Structure 1
Protein backbone atom coordinates (compact mmCIF):
# COMPACT_ATOMS: atom_id res chain seq x y z
CA UNK A 1 0.00 0.00 0.00
CA UNK A 2 1.18 3.53 -0.78
CA UNK A 3 -0.22 6.84 0.38
CA UNK A 4 1.33 10.26 -0.25
CA UNK A 5 -0.38 13.56 0.58
CA UNK A 6 0.34 16.19 -2.07
CA UNK A 7 1.78 19.22 -0.30
CA UNK A 8 3.35 22.35 -1.87
CA UNK A 9 7.15 22.28 -1.67
CA UNK A 10 9.59 24.96 -0.51
CA UNK A 11 13.39 24.70 -0.56
CA UNK A 12 15.17 26.15 2.47
CA UNK A 13 18.78 25.84 1.41
CA UNK A 14 19.81 29.30 0.18
CA UNK A 15 17.59 31.71 2.07
CA UNK A 16 16.81 29.81 5.29
CA UNK A 17 19.83 27.55 5.93
CA UNK A 18 18.79 26.65 9.48
CA UNK A 19 15.07 27.23 8.91
CA UNK A 20 13.96 23.63 8.40
CA UNK A 21 11.37 23.84 11.19
CA UNK A 22 9.86 27.04 9.82
CA UNK A 23 9.89 25.92 6.18
CA UNK A 24 8.30 22.57 7.01
CA UNK A 25 5.63 24.50 8.91
CA UNK A 26 5.01 26.93 6.06
CA UNK A 27 4.63 23.99 3.65
CA UNK A 28 1.95 22.69 6.00
CA UNK A 29 0.28 26.10 6.09
CA UNK A 30 0.21 26.28 2.29
CA UNK A 31 -1.36 22.82 2.21
CA UNK A 32 -4.05 24.25 4.51
CA UNK A 33 -4.48 27.18 2.05
CA UNK A 34 -3.03 29.62 4.58
CA UNK A 35 -0.70 31.63 2.36
CA UNK A 36 1.88 32.98 4.78
CA UNK A 37 5.37 33.56 3.40
CA UNK A 38 8.39 32.00 5.14
CA UNK A 39 9.54 35.51 6.06
CA UNK A 40 6.19 36.35 7.63
CA UNK A 41 6.22 33.17 9.68
CA UNK A 42 9.83 33.62 10.82
CA UNK A 43 9.63 37.36 11.48
CA UNK A 44 6.12 37.65 12.92
CA UNK A 45 5.40 34.38 14.72
CA UNK A 46 8.59 32.45 15.50
CA UNK A 47 10.15 33.36 18.87
CA UNK A 48 13.92 33.66 18.45
CA UNK A 49 16.92 34.55 20.56
CA UNK A 50 20.45 35.13 19.24
CA UNK A 51 23.43 33.10 20.37
CA UNK A 52 26.03 35.16 22.26
CA UNK A 53 29.66 34.64 23.19
CA UNK A 54 30.57 35.91 26.66
CA UNK A 55 34.24 35.37 27.35
CA UNK A 56 34.90 31.76 26.46
CA UNK A 57 31.27 30.70 26.99
CA UNK A 58 28.50 30.39 24.39
CA UNK A 59 25.07 31.47 25.61
CA UNK A 60 21.71 30.89 23.99
CA UNK A 61 18.07 29.99 24.61
CA UNK A 62 16.46 26.68 25.48
CA UNK A 63 15.24 25.38 22.06
CA UNK A 64 12.07 24.11 23.73
CA UNK A 65 11.13 27.77 24.26
CA UNK A 66 12.88 29.81 21.55
CA UNK A 67 14.70 29.30 18.25
CA UNK A 68 18.43 29.31 18.99
CA UNK A 69 19.79 31.93 16.61
CA UNK A 70 18.10 32.89 13.33
CA UNK A 71 16.75 30.67 10.52
CA UNK A 72 18.48 33.04 8.08
CA UNK A 73 21.90 32.30 9.62
CA UNK A 74 23.85 29.19 8.63
CA UNK A 75 25.68 29.17 11.97
CA UNK A 76 22.49 29.02 14.05
CA UNK A 77 20.86 25.93 15.53
CA UNK A 78 17.07 25.46 15.57
CA UNK A 79 14.05 24.84 17.78
CA UNK A 80 11.82 22.08 19.07
CA UNK A 81 8.05 21.41 18.80
CA UNK A 82 6.79 23.73 21.58
CA UNK A 83 8.22 26.71 19.70
CA UNK A 84 6.51 25.74 16.44
CA UNK A 85 3.24 24.84 18.21
CA UNK A 86 3.24 28.22 19.96
CA UNK A 87 3.94 30.09 16.70
CA UNK A 88 1.19 28.22 14.85
CA UNK A 89 -1.37 28.80 17.57
CA UNK A 90 -0.60 32.53 17.63
CA UNK A 91 -1.03 32.62 13.86
CA UNK A 92 -4.32 30.68 13.99
CA UNK A 93 -5.66 32.96 16.73
CA UNK A 94 -4.59 36.17 15.00
CA UNK A 95 -6.09 35.13 11.67
CA UNK A 96 -9.18 33.58 13.33
CA UNK A 97 -8.52 30.19 11.72
CA UNK A 98 -10.35 27.27 13.42
CA UNK A 99 -7.22 25.16 13.82
CA UNK A 100 -4.95 24.26 16.71
CA UNK A 101 -1.39 22.97 16.77
CA UNK A 102 -0.37 20.13 19.05
CA UNK A 103 2.94 18.66 20.21
CA UNK A 104 2.79 14.91 19.56
CA UNK A 105 6.33 14.11 20.69
CA UNK A 106 6.70 10.48 21.69
CA UNK A 107 3.82 9.18 19.57
CA UNK A 108 4.60 5.91 17.80
CA UNK A 109 4.98 5.96 14.03
CA UNK A 110 2.09 3.52 13.76
CA UNK A 111 -0.21 5.90 15.62
CA UNK A 112 1.11 8.91 13.68
CA UNK A 113 0.22 7.20 10.42
CA UNK A 114 -3.17 5.99 11.65
CA UNK A 115 -4.19 9.22 13.41
CA UNK A 116 -2.85 11.79 10.95
CA UNK A 117 -1.39 10.66 7.61
CA UNK A 118 -4.33 8.35 6.89
CA UNK A 119 -6.59 11.36 7.56
CA UNK A 120 -4.61 13.58 5.15
CA UNK A 121 -2.96 15.50 7.99
CA UNK A 122 0.80 16.01 7.39
CA UNK A 123 3.13 15.83 10.40
CA UNK A 124 6.02 18.19 11.24
CA UNK A 125 8.72 15.66 12.03
CA UNK A 126 12.20 15.90 13.58
CA UNK A 127 15.00 13.57 12.45
CA UNK A 128 18.45 14.33 11.00
CA UNK A 129 19.69 16.07 7.89
CA UNK A 130 19.92 13.56 5.01
CA UNK A 131 19.29 11.02 7.82
CA UNK A 132 22.95 11.28 8.83
CA UNK A 133 24.12 9.96 12.17
CA UNK A 134 23.34 12.42 14.93
CA UNK A 135 26.14 13.87 17.08
CA UNK A 136 25.82 14.83 20.75
CA UNK A 137 26.84 18.47 21.21
CA UNK A 138 27.73 21.26 21.23
CA UNK A 139 26.68 22.60 24.63
CA UNK A 140 25.79 26.15 25.50
CA UNK A 141 24.77 28.01 28.62
CA UNK A 142 21.24 29.18 29.33
CA UNK A 143 20.43 32.44 31.13
CA UNK A 144 20.29 30.61 34.48
CA UNK A 145 23.86 29.31 33.88
CA UNK A 146 22.65 25.73 33.36
CA UNK A 147 23.96 23.94 30.27
CA UNK A 148 21.93 22.71 27.32
CA UNK A 149 23.22 19.96 25.03
CA UNK A 150 22.24 20.19 21.35
CA UNK A 151 22.00 17.07 19.16
CA UNK A 152 23.76 18.01 15.92
CA UNK A 153 22.57 17.18 12.40
CA UNK A 154 19.07 18.05 13.67
CA UNK A 155 16.58 18.42 10.84
CA UNK A 156 12.86 18.95 10.47
CA UNK A 157 10.76 17.71 7.55
CA UNK A 158 7.09 17.31 6.72
CA UNK A 159 5.90 13.70 6.85
CA UNK A 160 3.43 13.23 4.00
CA UNK A 161 3.15 9.51 3.32
CA UNK A 162 4.36 5.94 3.38
CA UNK A 163 4.53 2.67 1.48
CA UNK A 164 5.62 -0.83 2.51
CA UNK A 165 9.30 0.05 2.89
CA UNK A 166 9.57 3.85 3.13
CA UNK A 167 8.21 7.03 4.66
CA UNK A 168 7.73 10.03 2.38
CA UNK A 169 8.72 13.55 3.36
CA UNK A 170 8.65 17.00 1.87
CA UNK A 171 12.31 17.54 2.78
CA UNK A 172 13.22 21.24 2.47
CA UNK A 173 16.98 20.60 2.35
CA UNK A 174 18.89 20.85 -0.96
CA UNK A 175 15.70 20.84 -3.02
CA UNK A 176 15.04 17.18 -2.20
CA UNK A 177 11.33 17.64 -2.89
CA UNK A 178 9.06 14.77 -1.88
CA UNK A 179 11.53 12.01 -1.05
CA UNK A 180 11.28 8.43 0.26
CA UNK A 181 13.51 7.37 3.15
CA UNK A 182 13.81 3.81 4.58
CA UNK A 183 11.47 3.20 7.49
CA UNK A 184 13.97 1.75 9.96
CA UNK A 185 16.49 4.55 9.40
CA UNK A 186 13.82 7.23 9.74
CA UNK A 187 12.59 5.78 13.01
CA UNK A 188 16.13 5.51 14.39
CA UNK A 189 17.01 9.14 13.60
CA UNK A 190 13.64 10.30 14.94
CA UNK A 191 14.33 8.49 18.23
CA UNK A 192 17.80 10.08 18.40
CA UNK A 193 16.11 13.50 18.10
CA UNK A 194 13.85 12.93 21.11
CA UNK A 195 10.96 11.52 18.98
CA UNK A 196 9.75 15.07 18.36
CA UNK A 197 6.77 15.90 16.14
CA UNK A 198 3.85 18.33 15.83
CA UNK A 199 0.58 18.61 13.91
CA UNK A 200 -2.21 21.08 13.15
CA UNK A 201 -5.79 19.83 13.46
CA UNK A 202 -9.27 21.30 13.38
CA UNK A 203 -10.28 23.04 16.60
CA UNK A 204 -12.52 20.87 18.73
CA UNK A 205 -11.61 17.72 16.82
CA UNK A 206 -10.14 14.77 18.69
CA UNK A 207 -8.51 11.93 16.78
CA UNK A 208 -8.18 8.67 18.70
Structure 2
Protein backbone atom coordinates (compact mmCIF):
# COMPACT_ATOMS: atom_id res chain seq x y z
CA UNK A 1 0.00 0.00 0.00
CA UNK A 2 2.81 2.44 0.90
CA UNK A 3 4.57 1.87 -2.41
CA UNK A 4 1.30 2.34 -4.25
CA UNK A 5 0.66 5.72 -2.56
CA UNK A 6 4.19 6.97 -3.32
CA UNK A 7 3.79 5.96 -6.96
CA UNK A 8 0.44 7.71 -7.11
CA UNK A 9 1.88 10.95 -5.71
CA UNK A 10 4.72 10.91 -8.19
CA UNK A 11 2.37 10.20 -11.08
CA UNK A 12 0.35 13.25 -10.12
CA UNK A 13 3.48 15.39 -9.94
CA UNK A 14 2.91 16.21 -6.25
CA UNK A 15 5.21 15.16 -3.45
CA UNK A 16 3.70 16.51 -0.25
CA UNK A 17 5.82 18.71 1.97
CA UNK A 18 8.73 19.55 -0.34
CA UNK A 19 9.89 19.90 -3.90
CA UNK A 20 10.83 16.75 -5.76
CA UNK A 21 14.63 16.65 -5.74
CA UNK A 22 16.08 17.65 -9.09
CA UNK A 23 12.99 19.45 -10.36
CA UNK A 24 14.18 22.09 -12.83
CA UNK A 25 12.06 25.09 -13.79
CA UNK A 26 13.39 26.48 -17.05
CA UNK A 27 10.76 29.14 -17.68
CA UNK A 28 7.95 30.99 -15.96
CA UNK A 29 4.47 29.59 -16.44
CA UNK A 30 2.43 30.69 -19.42
CA UNK A 31 0.58 33.97 -19.17
CA UNK A 32 -2.17 33.69 -16.58
CA UNK A 33 -5.76 33.38 -17.78
CA UNK A 34 -8.13 34.95 -15.32
CA UNK A 35 -11.17 32.88 -16.26
CA UNK A 36 -12.25 29.69 -14.55
CA UNK A 37 -12.42 26.31 -16.27
CA UNK A 38 -9.91 24.03 -17.95
CA UNK A 39 -6.42 25.43 -18.45
CA UNK A 40 -3.14 23.78 -19.40
CA UNK A 41 0.01 24.35 -17.31
CA UNK A 42 3.06 24.13 -19.58
CA UNK A 43 5.63 24.10 -16.77
CA UNK A 44 6.02 22.51 -13.37
CA UNK A 45 5.06 24.89 -10.57
CA UNK A 46 4.79 24.92 -6.76
CA UNK A 47 1.36 24.63 -5.15
CA UNK A 48 0.35 26.26 -1.88
CA UNK A 49 -2.11 25.41 0.86
CA UNK A 50 -3.81 28.80 0.54
CA UNK A 51 -3.82 31.81 -1.81
CA UNK A 52 -0.80 33.45 -0.17
CA UNK A 53 2.96 32.98 -0.22
CA UNK A 54 2.79 33.04 3.58
CA UNK A 55 0.94 29.70 3.50
CA UNK A 56 2.64 26.31 3.32
CA UNK A 57 4.06 24.87 0.11
CA UNK A 58 2.53 21.41 -0.25
CA UNK A 59 4.48 20.23 -3.28
CA UNK A 60 4.67 20.73 -7.03
CA UNK A 61 2.27 20.09 -9.87
CA UNK A 62 3.56 18.84 -13.21
CA UNK A 63 2.48 20.09 -16.66
CA UNK A 64 -1.13 19.06 -17.16
CA UNK A 65 -4.64 20.24 -17.79
CA UNK A 66 -6.22 21.62 -14.62
CA UNK A 67 -9.76 22.64 -13.79
CA UNK A 68 -9.63 26.09 -12.21
CA UNK A 69 -12.43 26.33 -9.65
CA UNK A 70 -11.73 29.81 -8.30
CA UNK A 71 -9.38 32.74 -8.90
CA UNK A 72 -8.07 35.45 -6.59
CA UNK A 73 -5.62 38.16 -7.66
CA UNK A 74 -3.87 35.84 -10.09
CA UNK A 75 -4.00 32.76 -7.85
CA UNK A 76 -5.82 29.70 -9.20
CA UNK A 77 -7.54 27.09 -7.06
CA UNK A 78 -7.43 23.54 -8.41
CA UNK A 79 -8.71 20.32 -6.90
CA UNK A 80 -7.52 16.73 -7.06
CA UNK A 81 -8.35 13.60 -5.11
CA UNK A 82 -5.66 14.73 -2.62
CA UNK A 83 -7.32 18.03 -1.82
CA UNK A 84 -7.56 21.64 -2.91
CA UNK A 85 -4.39 23.56 -3.81
CA UNK A 86 -3.57 27.08 -4.97
CA UNK A 87 -1.29 27.79 -7.94
CA UNK A 88 0.57 31.15 -7.70
CA UNK A 89 0.29 33.73 -10.49
CA UNK A 90 3.95 33.59 -11.54
CA UNK A 91 6.48 30.88 -12.26
CA UNK A 92 10.12 30.26 -11.34
CA UNK A 93 13.13 30.52 -13.59
CA UNK A 94 14.74 27.51 -11.99
CA UNK A 95 14.65 25.40 -8.87
CA UNK A 96 17.20 22.66 -8.37
CA UNK A 97 17.11 20.95 -4.99
CA UNK A 98 17.28 23.75 -2.41
CA UNK A 99 18.39 26.48 -4.87
CA UNK A 100 16.10 29.02 -6.52
CA UNK A 101 17.07 31.87 -8.82
CA UNK A 102 14.83 34.41 -10.55
CA UNK A 103 15.82 36.22 -13.72
CA UNK A 104 15.35 39.87 -12.73
CA UNK A 105 16.70 42.81 -14.77
CA UNK A 106 19.61 44.59 -13.05
CA UNK A 107 19.55 48.39 -12.76
CA UNK A 108 22.02 50.98 -11.40
CA UNK A 109 20.88 53.94 -9.30
CA UNK A 110 23.91 55.99 -10.35
CA UNK A 111 24.64 58.59 -11.49
CA UNK A 112 21.22 60.24 -11.29
CA UNK A 113 19.85 58.76 -8.03
CA UNK A 114 22.61 58.71 -5.43
CA UNK A 115 20.03 58.18 -2.67
CA UNK A 116 17.51 56.30 -4.79
CA UNK A 117 18.22 52.67 -3.92
CA UNK A 118 14.67 51.96 -2.72
CA UNK A 119 13.16 53.33 -5.93
CA UNK A 120 15.53 51.38 -8.18
CA UNK A 121 15.18 48.18 -6.13
CA UNK A 122 11.39 48.47 -6.46
CA UNK A 123 11.76 49.18 -10.17
CA UNK A 124 13.71 45.94 -10.64
CA UNK A 125 11.04 44.02 -8.72
CA UNK A 126 8.27 45.42 -10.94
CA UNK A 127 10.22 44.82 -14.15
CA UNK A 128 10.30 41.11 -13.30
CA UNK A 129 6.61 41.16 -14.28
CA UNK A 130 7.23 42.81 -17.63
CA UNK A 131 6.41 46.36 -16.49
CA UNK A 132 8.59 48.88 -18.35
CA UNK A 133 9.65 51.87 -16.24
CA UNK A 134 11.78 54.95 -16.73
CA UNK A 135 14.13 55.18 -13.74
CA UNK A 136 13.90 58.94 -13.23
CA UNK A 137 10.16 59.18 -13.85
CA UNK A 138 9.46 56.31 -11.46
CA UNK A 139 11.70 57.80 -8.75
CA UNK A 140 10.00 61.15 -9.24
CA UNK A 141 6.63 59.56 -8.40
CA UNK A 142 7.84 57.97 -5.14
CA UNK A 143 6.04 59.51 -2.11
CA UNK A 144 8.17 62.11 -0.36
CA UNK A 145 8.24 63.93 2.94
CA UNK A 146 9.58 67.36 2.01
CA UNK A 147 10.38 68.45 5.57
CA UNK A 148 13.62 70.41 5.49
CA UNK A 149 16.50 69.20 7.64
CA UNK A 150 17.27 71.32 10.70
CA UNK A 151 20.54 70.92 12.59
CA UNK A 152 22.11 72.04 15.84
CA UNK A 153 25.82 71.93 15.18
CA UNK A 154 26.48 68.53 13.60
CA UNK A 155 23.31 66.96 14.98
CA UNK A 156 20.09 66.61 12.99
CA UNK A 157 17.25 67.90 15.15
CA UNK A 158 14.23 67.96 12.79
CA UNK A 159 13.63 66.11 9.52
CA UNK A 160 11.03 64.04 7.69
CA UNK A 161 9.26 60.77 8.44
CA UNK A 162 10.27 57.77 6.26
CA UNK A 163 6.96 56.13 7.22
CA UNK A 164 5.28 58.85 5.13
CA UNK A 165 7.66 59.14 2.18
CA UNK A 166 11.25 59.51 1.05
CA UNK A 167 13.12 61.83 3.39
CA UNK A 168 15.51 64.33 1.84
CA UNK A 169 16.86 64.54 -1.71
CA UNK A 170 16.63 61.29 -3.69
CA UNK A 171 19.10 62.60 -6.31
CA UNK A 172 21.90 63.13 -3.80
CA UNK A 173 22.42 66.81 -4.55
CA UNK A 174 21.79 67.32 -0.85
CA UNK A 175 21.16 65.06 2.16
CA UNK A 176 18.81 62.15 1.62
CA UNK A 177 17.79 59.20 3.76
CA UNK A 178 15.16 56.57 2.88
CA UNK A 179 11.53 55.56 2.44
CA UNK A 180 10.18 52.65 4.49
CA UNK A 181 8.08 49.67 3.35
CA UNK A 182 4.62 50.94 4.35
CA UNK A 183 4.45 54.01 2.06
CA UNK A 184 6.45 52.33 -0.70
CA UNK A 185 4.23 49.24 -0.84
CA UNK A 186 1.14 51.47 -0.83
CA UNK A 187 2.59 53.46 -3.74
CA UNK A 188 3.23 50.26 -5.72
CA UNK A 189 -0.53 49.67 -5.90
CA UNK A 190 -0.38 52.11 -8.81
CA UNK A 191 1.40 49.33 -10.73
CA UNK A 192 0.28 46.01 -9.23
CA UNK A 193 -2.79 44.92 -7.30
CA UNK A 194 -1.25 43.23 -4.33
CA UNK A 195 2.10 44.54 -2.99
CA UNK A 196 2.75 43.33 0.54
CA UNK A 197 4.74 44.73 3.47
CA UNK A 198 6.81 41.84 4.89
CA UNK A 199 8.44 43.80 7.71
CA UNK A 200 9.11 41.63 10.73
CA UNK A 201 8.85 38.22 9.06
CA UNK A 202 11.57 35.57 9.21
CA UNK A 203 13.83 34.71 6.23
CA UNK A 204 11.85 31.54 5.54
CA UNK A 205 8.90 33.72 4.52
CA UNK A 206 11.11 35.70 2.13
CA UNK A 207 12.19 32.39 0.61
CA UNK A 208 8.55 31.40 0.06
CA UNK A 209 8.05 34.52 -2.02
CA UNK A 210 11.19 33.79 -4.04
CA UNK A 211 10.03 30.20 -4.56
CA UNK A 212 6.76 31.57 -5.85
CA UNK A 213 8.55 33.65 -8.48
CA UNK A 214 8.36 36.98 -6.66
CA UNK A 215 11.46 39.14 -5.97
CA UNK A 216 11.75 40.78 -2.54
CA UNK A 217 13.05 44.27 -1.76
CA UNK A 218 15.00 44.12 1.53
CA UNK A 219 16.42 47.01 3.58
CA UNK A 220 20.04 46.26 4.49
CA UNK A 221 23.28 48.30 4.28
CA UNK A 222 25.72 49.13 1.49
CA UNK A 223 27.91 46.05 0.92
CA UNK A 224 26.31 44.45 4.00
CA UNK A 225 28.63 46.37 6.29
CA UNK A 226 27.75 47.07 9.91
CA UNK A 227 25.28 49.86 10.58
CA UNK A 228 27.55 52.91 10.57
CA UNK A 229 25.59 55.50 12.55
CA UNK A 230 22.57 56.06 14.72
CA UNK A 231 21.12 59.39 13.71
CA UNK A 232 18.13 60.50 15.78
CA UNK A 233 15.80 63.33 14.85
CA UNK A 234 12.25 64.48 15.45
CA UNK A 235 9.57 65.01 12.82
CA UNK A 236 7.48 68.21 12.92
CA UNK A 237 4.69 66.14 14.54
CA UNK A 238 7.01 65.11 17.39
CA UNK A 239 7.78 61.55 16.24
CA UNK A 240 11.31 60.25 16.88
CA UNK A 241 13.15 58.68 13.95
CA UNK A 242 16.31 56.59 14.29
CA UNK A 243 18.23 56.26 11.06
CA UNK A 244 21.54 55.25 9.55
CA UNK A 245 23.13 56.86 6.51
CA UNK A 246 24.37 53.54 5.13
CA UNK A 247 20.81 52.25 4.88
CA UNK A 248 20.43 50.49 1.55
CA UNK A 249 17.75 48.53 -0.31
CA UNK A 250 18.47 45.59 -2.62
CA UNK A 251 16.30 43.24 -4.65
CA UNK A 252 16.49 39.64 -3.43
CA UNK A 253 16.34 37.32 -6.45
CA UNK A 254 17.36 33.88 -5.19
CA UNK A 255 18.89 31.62 -2.59
CA UNK A 256 20.68 28.34 -2.10
CA UNK A 257 21.52 26.35 1.00
CA UNK A 258 23.97 28.92 2.42
CA UNK A 259 23.48 32.16 0.48
CA UNK A 260 21.03 34.78 -0.70
CA UNK A 261 21.38 36.50 -4.06
CA UNK A 262 20.59 40.14 -4.83
CA UNK A 263 20.48 42.64 -7.64
CA UNK A 264 22.30 45.60 -6.12
CA UNK A 265 21.26 49.06 -7.37
CA UNK A 266 24.37 50.61 -5.77
CA UNK A 267 26.69 48.78 -8.20
CA UNK A 268 24.32 47.48 -10.85
CA UNK A 269 25.47 43.94 -10.00
CA UNK A 270 23.20 41.02 -10.88
CA UNK A 271 22.94 37.99 -8.54
CA UNK A 272 25.29 39.44 -5.90
CA UNK A 273 25.92 36.74 -3.27
CA UNK A 274 25.94 37.08 0.54
CA UNK A 275 25.83 34.40 3.23
CA UNK A 276 22.50 33.79 4.90
CA UNK A 277 24.06 34.46 8.28
CA UNK A 278 25.43 37.87 7.25
CA UNK A 279 22.16 38.84 5.59
CA UNK A 280 20.21 37.99 8.73
CA UNK A 281 22.62 39.96 10.96
CA UNK A 282 22.41 43.11 8.85
CA UNK A 283 18.73 42.82 7.94
CA UNK A 284 17.79 42.36 11.60
CA UNK A 285 19.89 45.35 12.64
CA UNK A 286 18.01 47.44 10.07
CA UNK A 287 14.58 46.39 11.37
CA UNK A 288 13.74 43.36 9.18
CA UNK A 289 12.14 45.60 6.55
CA UNK A 290 10.99 44.06 3.25
CA UNK A 291 8.28 44.21 0.59
CA UNK A 292 7.17 41.92 -2.21
CA UNK A 293 4.14 41.15 -4.36
CA UNK A 294 1.53 38.48 -3.66
- Give the TM-score category using the shorter length: 0.7 to 0.9
Question: Does the Cα contact within 8 Å between 2:168 and 2:177 map onto a contact in 1?
Answer: yes
Residues 165, 184 of structure 2: 8 Å contact kept: no
Structure 2: any 5+ residue segments left out of the alignment?
1-97
- Return structure 1 stretches of 4+ with deviation > 6 angstroms: none
TM-score, structure 2 normalization: 0.62
Task: State whether residues 221 and 247 of structure 2, in contact with CA within 8 Å, keep that contact through their aligned partners in structure 1.
Answer: yes
Say if 1:48 and 1:70, in contact at 8 Å, map to a contact too: no
Higher relative contact order (CA 8 A, sep 6+): 1
Q: 1:153 to 1:54 in 2, by over 3 A?
A: closer
In structure 1, list runs of 5 or more residues that go unmatched.
202-208
Q: Is the 8 A contact 1:171 1:177 kept in 2?
A: yes
The answer on 1:163 being equivalent to 2:256 is: yes
* Superposition deviation, residue 3 in structure 1: 1.4
CA displacement 1:128-153 (0-9 Å, x = unmatched): 11000003421222102443221332
Contact 1:50 1:70 (8 Å CA) reproduced: no
Q: Which residue of 2 aligns with 1:76?
A: 176
Q: Deviations over 1:143-180 (max 9, x none)?
A: 02443221332110011100122100011112323211
Q: 2:215 aligns with which of 122, 131, 147?
A: 122
- 2:132 equivalent to 1:39: no
- Residue 152 of structure 1: SS of its match in structure 2? coil
| 2:106 is aligned with 1:13 | no
Larger mean Cα displacement after TM superposition, 33-42 or 104-113: 33-42
Residue 59 (structure 2) aligns with: none
- Give the direction of change, closer, same or farther, for the CA distance of 1:29–1:87 in structure 2 (3 Å limit): same
Higher helix share: 1
Partner-residue secondary structure (3-state), 1:156: strand
Give the Cα separation in 2 of the matches to 1:71 and 1:119.
31
CA distance in 2, matches of 1:112, 1:9: 20
Q: Give the corresponding residue for 2:165.
A: 66
Distance 1:45 1:153 in 2: 20
Larger radius of gyration: 2
| Higher mean C-alpha displacement, 170-179 vs 188-197 | 170-179
